[in-house]
Amino acid sequence: MLARLGFDAVTLDMQHGFHSTESVLRGIAGVALAGKPAIVRIPVGRFDMASRALDMGAAAVIAPMINDVDDARAFAAATKFPPLGERSWGPHRAMQLSRHGDVSTFMRTADRETLSFAMIETRKAFDRLNDILDVDGIDGVFVGPADFSIAWSEGAKVDPRLEEMMPAIEAIASAAKKSGKLAALYAADPGLVGRYRQMGYGLVATGSDTESLVLGATSLLERAKAE
């Protein structure tokens, strides 16, 4: 349903959301039927799930808490085929969903047509940003403002709108652009989407299934009580 509402893509969250392998498989198929790409965020450190998500047909994978080059290399290795990475062959569902019906074409194009986003959420990651961006196989970075605000305030706040961190968030987008990589971000406040776009973020995610359900149900209830 979300894929048919006009969003450019739908993200299935295995980190903080309630998705399992089975629901991700069904979700990717549903999003594909709507003609949109599905993005999967894997749990922390579960790079094996990155390969699985791509095998299921995900167009992009987001890996949380990529804090250094070793993390970035391990993630890239799981998402790219040799010689760039170490992804094992087995994209049977992905091939069914792709426009490439033969093995050789899929193998030749998969690394280019699927994206690997490393999440920047800590001061450690921010300090090593350029090194992370330099890793072959990392296509872009994805900022998690909630965790980033915890790090930036040294544990004092959880505020994805924290004004003091906005220059750093803009610097991340600038560094990504300079390195020829993509900049993505989650906007907890839809009202900030325009600001993030001006900073240089090409992909901005916003909203969630639970949030949409609550907002829709609240609006429905208010209308019903007003009658």
Residues designated as active site? 16
Band of pLDDT at residue 30, cut at 50, 70 and 90: very high
pLDDT at 216 over 90: no
Please give the structure tokens belonging to residue 19: 């998705």
| Element of type H or E holding 226 | helix 209-226
Nearest to 182 by CA among 174, 171, 190: 174
Range of the domain at 59: 2-226
Cβ neighbours, 10 Å, residue 113: 14
Contact predicate 60/116, CB 8 Å: yes
pLDDT at 31 over 70: yes
What span, in angstroms and rounded, lies between the C-alpha atoms of 219 and 119? 34
Residue 196 carries which side chain, given as an amino acid letter?
A: Y
Q: How many domains does the chain have?
A: 1
Assign residue 185 the CATH number of its domain. 3.20.20.60
Task: Identify the pLDDT of residue 227.
Answer: 67
Write phi, then psi, for 116 (nearest 5 degrees): -120, 115
**Percent of the residues in the chain that have a pLDDT greater than 90, as a whole number:** 78
What span, in angstroms and rounded, lies between the C-alpha atoms of 153 and 176? 23
Q: What is the dihedral of CA 217, 221, 224, 227, to 10 degrees?
A: -140
Average model confidence (pLDDT) across the chain: 93
Tens digits of residue pLDDT in 139-182:
999 999 999 999 999 999 999 999 999 999 999 999 999 999 99
100 torsion bin: left (phi>0), alpha (psi -120 to 50), beta (else): beta
The mean per-residue pLDDT over the stretch 94-116 comes to: 89
pLDDT at 101 over 80: no
Tens digits of residue pLDDT in 47-75:
999 999 999 999 999 999 999 999 999 99
